[in-house]
Amino acid sequence: MMKYEQLAKDIIENVGGKENVNSVVHCITRLRFKLKDESQANTEVLNNMDGVVTVRQSGGQYQVVIGNHVADVYKAVVAEGGFQTQKEDDGNDEEEKGSLLNRFIDLIAGIFTPILSVLVASGVLKGLNALFTATGLLKEESGTYQILNAIGDGLFYFLPIILGYTAMKKFGGTPFLGMVIGMALVYPDLENLQGSGDPLYTLFAGTMIESPVYIEFLGIPVILMSYSMSVIPIIISTFFAAKLENFFTKIIPAVVRMFLVPMLTMVIIIPLTFMIIGPIATWLSQLIGDGSVGLYELSPIIAGALLGGFWLVLVMFGLHWGLVPIAINNFSTVGQDPILALIFAHSFALAGALLAVLLITKNQNTKTLTPPAIVSAIFGVTEPGMYGIALPLKKPFIFTVISSAIGGALIGAFGTRGYEMAGLGLFQIPSFIHPENGFDFAIIGAIIAAVVALILAFVLTYFFGGVNQNTNDTQEEPSESTSNHETNSLTQEQIASPLKGKVVNLSDVEDTAFATGALGKGAAIEPTEGVVHSPVTGTVTALFPTKHAIGLTSDNGAEILIHIGLDTVQLEGEHFSTDLNQGDRVEKGQLLLSFDKDGIEKDGYIITTPVVISNHDNYELSITDQPDVTTQDVLLEVTPK
């Protein structure tokens, strides 16, 4: 966690300081802040920060996308800000702000995000166990199967207890009180009463909600339900429990408040849940489950195209959280779910688009970022590739959405459904195994759909993706005059930043020759990465033997000096590497050289990098006003005098 301390400090500072943070949680790839005032956050700085993929503001949350290391960054953020001592949504005033949709999405995310990792892990184990039995590797009677099943199924069976904690915390109540409510709902003796003998009588006989009554509470009939794996009953119950607990806290004297408040809350809410809240919520759950499956059956192909195509868009805005609880509810009420099955192909479509980008891009930074993003996408984690590569390039994202829609339509046509809550990507495949039929054509159809989506996204991106257009990846082929490196006259030109980092005034550089402008006018960069890209298309006119500095002359006549660090000539080439030679031609955005940033600083040298125009006397010079830049940003603009 030590290596994330500085990143955590920078993130907290740029979300407005810890005083501006109400709460922070994390999911698979992002930190989800609830801020008192989002206008205090410096989104531009965060977007350009090394270690941050992007920032999204949605669902009443300020989401900082980190990627696969989010859990480690979260720990560092919590430690740095002391957020572990704060109640999430403390005060609940912020809950009243924002649209009804934002508040709903925030509620669902707040309840399910804390358990997402173990929820997915348990689902993957259940899927693998189903795979082992379907292939004959394990028998259901074996001890190995039983133990693996207990590991994978335990969380789902006791889900009301886990949700009792997170939901009660979200509603501002005591989390352990919510757990006790969940424990009562899955109490074995009460669950075993159902069907154990003849009922006392039957309520609502002849209707859709006909219910046998086996016990009464104070003479009032109790309709027993199976609450294991249920979602909606515990959420509604804890909502009212939090309100009731808050009421008793206000009116009961402090001397007896510690035990009397939870006791009165439990003795009122738990019977009410069994008699009223639970049955109504269960019927509602069944209605939602039957309704979602019914909509799917109306037109599986259209449902697949819409849900598969729009899933990544929903993820962008955090709106997918509205569908996740419905999917979990479907598993508990109808034993299957079409929602998560229909979106199976989306991560493979993204992987196909990213593979095409990797093969055709000329941007070295993109080539470095793409391979791990492809691996993440194959295993269902799409944010790094989506935010870091596909969205900035635009067309690859569009082709991913189109391919995902076609993949979803195929999944609908094959009738594929999920029978276990599982992970995404490759880990989702075992969840398609039918509990009775085992491997059937539906699971083969899902794999076919994923392959089709991957290939289609690859082909579309490869031939029509425009990966090297409108970026610093390439430049138009030089004209005959510039190919001979001849420039008849100086012209106006934009000089890109050769490094990613913080912009520093040249006068603040701790080197008199640069600070006074004796070596040229320009700016300096505090780099966050150890790579230098060409800011122009032109020629290498100077390359020091120590490789710590490089001089370029652009095709338009600007002479540029890039000096990595101060006094780094004394390193005699240590920590620097390049394959270029003086006289080589370079394209804008091309990798020039690399350096070990940490090694240079460890040896006691300042890493501040001046970027100056040596023939500045011929130009009027303007410098960017951005505090931070990437290699695709304009650092300097020169206009001939």
Active site residues: 27
3-class secondary structure, 325: helix
Q: How far apart are CA 494 and CA 472, in angstroms?
A: 12
| Burial of 136 per CB tally in 10 Å (0-12, 13-18, 19+) | exposed
Pick the closest to residue 401 from 314, 300, 327, 466 (CA basis): 314
| Burial of 85 per CB tally in 10 Å (0-12, 13-18, 19+) | exposed
Q: Are 269 and 181 in contact (CB under 8 A)?
A: yes
Partners of 487 in beta bridges: none
Pick the closest to residue 584 from 532, 542, 533 (CA basis): 542
Please give the DSSP secondary-structure letter assigned to residue 388.
Answer: I
Sign of CA dihedral 531, 535, 538, 541: negative
Residues 6+ apart with CB under 8 A from 587: 362, 474, 475, 534, 537
Q: How far apart are CA 148 and CA 129, in angstroms?
A: 7
Write b or e for each residue in 163-189: b if 16 or more Cβ atoms lie within 10 A of its Cβ, otherwise e: bbbbbbbbbbbbbebbbbbbebbbeee
Pick the closest to residue 73 from 58, 60, 83, 88 (CA basis): 83
Pick the closest to residue 419 from 337, 355, 350 (CA basis): 337
Q: Are 421 and 327 in contact (CB under 8 A)?
A: yes
Q: How far apart are CA 233 and CA 283, in angstroms?
A: 10
**Locate tokens 């006074």: which residue?**
516
Partners of 634 in beta bridges: 496
Q: Are 4 and 72 in contact (CB under 8 A)?
A: yes
Q: What angle do CA 518, 536, 512 make, to 5 degrees?
A: 15
